[in-house]
Structure 1
Amino acid sequence: MRQLLISLFALALTLCIAGCAGGGLSEDPFPSPADYEVHGIDVSKYQGDIDWDSVRASGVQFAWIKATEGGDRVDEKFAQNWASAKAAGIPRGAYHFAYWCRPAEEQAAWFTRNVPNDPDALPPVLDVEWNGQSKTCPKKLPREEAIAQMKVILAAMEQAYGKRPVIYTAIDFHRDVMQGEFNDYAIWVRSVKCNPALKYGDRKWRFWQHTAEGRVAGIKGNVDRNAFNGSAKDWQVWLAGVKVASST
């Protein structure tokens, strides 16, 4: 009987995975984005000029804003988005897109030079992905080197802003580098077809980027949508913890 139950569970999981990959099954046992209470966005220059008051009125409760790349690039809309999101009353944080061809120390210094230390901000984010589209940076590094570079940037961010950073990652980078690592950080995962439980295993995650084709009032065109893993009360507790961290 036990073996039969195991086989049935494996079959159900296989069917569920097929459904989240496009099979359209309605019996998915994992929560969908709509099942979460707290939702946000992440933006960059590609969203153009944003009406942040309309964004807030639409129900968006947090925003991650692209700030820097590598060691010499600043998103041209960062300063505008950073100021306007705060003015609209939306909790926001800045993220850095890591390049694997720049020394970690240079990248950390570039981020801290360009992102204000605002006690009201969300924690800084380190965005780690393989730079598959880059013509100048290597697409991949050995796992140990990638981990070492991440640790340098994360430590510098925490020292500069007084908050433990969030790590954003994609499925392939998590598989290649992050398995079993960075368990004491809040993780923001990308999974656009199914719940992260089906792609990241037992990895505990805090934020879920579930689509790149979201629509939000105040933004022309598509925008990334994200869900917070927890209730509205959990969100308030998490925000309070962020503020406490920044004051210690």
Structure 2
Amino acid sequence: MPAASVLIVLVVYACLVVTGVLWPNRLFASGYTVRGVDVSSYQGEIDWRVLASEDLDFAYIKATEGSSYVDSRFEENWAGAAASGLKIGAYHFLSFESAGIDQLKHLVDTVPVDGDLPIAVDLEFYGRFFDEHPTTSAVRAILDPLLTGIKEHYGYDAVIYATPEAYDEYVRGAYDENPIWIRSVIGPANLPDERDWTFWQYSNRDRLRGYRGDEPFVDMNVFAGTAAELSGLTRR
């Protein structure tokens, strides 16, 4: 094939990937039958009846961030997702700039105890911390009391969501009791310490029916187990 033709094919393929039409990870994730989304206010107004019909089993909904921020659509999404029949859970975005005990109080004040899925703590870099990674000891000083408090209040171990970089720095070799939700949108999910993951975020470029917001895409996830095992995560 001439070089110009190869270049055209590569450009077209890249455009299809960027726009979410093609996503290589869908093939790897197709072996898992329990699927779900995670959403925030970026997806705007969600018709949960329509979204739930897109071959979904669960939804994680952004609730809180740090010690004071509440997602503007959390209550609306929580109620709508619950009414749709999906298994629902809330996630908290961890801040490196406020104490874990303060973030715990904020979370507990916001998220009810009647979720179907464990609270998830989102551990990833943001803002200036992409370049200035906090030390492991500093992050664990925030994360540890938060995880302990979640277990005491809600009655189960929180899920830890992490990017590969954050996992390697802060989670690897620790937190054995906490289910892991790993982000790996380029290829199959493999944890560096060979630990098994519980949830895998395999795509950040899916387009589903049922929402209209500033963000045209929605994150897709799979669960490493059956629907019955998913329900058992919060069994006290």
Shorter-chain TM-score category?
A: 0.7 to 0.9
| Deviant stretches of 4+, over 2 Å | 137-140
Q: 2:222 — aligned with what?
A: 227
Distance 1:139 1:52 in 2: 38
* Kept after mapping to 2: 8 A contact 1:101/1:138: no
Q: 1:89 — aligned with what?
A: 85
Residue 121 (structure 1) shift = 2.4
Question: What SS does the aligned partner of 1:196 have?
Answer: coil
1:202 equivalent to 2:194? Answer yes
Question: What SS does the aligned partner of 2:211 have?
Answer: coil
Question: What SS does the aligned partner of 2:62 have?
Answer: strand
Give the alignment partner of residue 206 of structure 2, picking from 188, 206, 214.
214
Distance 1:112 1:66 in 2: 14
Q: 1:170 — aligned with what?
A: 163
Q: 2:118 — aligned with what?
A: 123
1:161-220 alpha-carbon deviations (Å, 9 max, x no partner): 1121100000111111111011221100000011112x6350210000011111222123
**Aligned runs of 1:6-85 on 2, under 5 Å?**
32-85=28-81
Q: TM-score with structure 1 length normalisation?
A: 0.79
Residue 138 (structure 1) shift = 9.1
Distance 1:196 1:240 in 2: 23
Residue 134 (structure 1) shift = 5.0
Question: What amino acid sits opposite 1:212 in the alignment?
Answer: N
Give the alignment partner of residue 107 of structure 1, picking from 103, 107, 111.
103
1:160 equivalent to 2:153? Answer yes
Higher relative contact order (CA 8 A, sep 6+): 2
Q: 1:238 — aligned with what?
A: 230
Q: Paired residues, what number?
A: 209
**Aligned runs of 1:136-151 on 2, under 5 Å?**
139-151=132-144
Question: What amino acid sits opposite 2:207 in the alignment?
Answer: R
Out of 37-46 and 145-154, give the one that drifted further. Answer: 145-154
Distance 1:202 1:184 in 2: 15
Distance 1:116 1:134 in 2: 32
Pair 108,99 (structure 1): closer, same or farther in 2 beyond 3 Å:
same
Residue 100 (structure 1) shift = 0.6
| Aligned-residue identity in percent | 32
Residue 81 (structure 1) shift = 0.2
5+ long unaligned stretches in structure 1: 1-21, 23-27
1:85-115 alpha-carbon deviations (Å, 9 max, x no partner): 0011111100100111101110010011111
Q: TM-score with structure 2 length normalisation?
A: 0.83
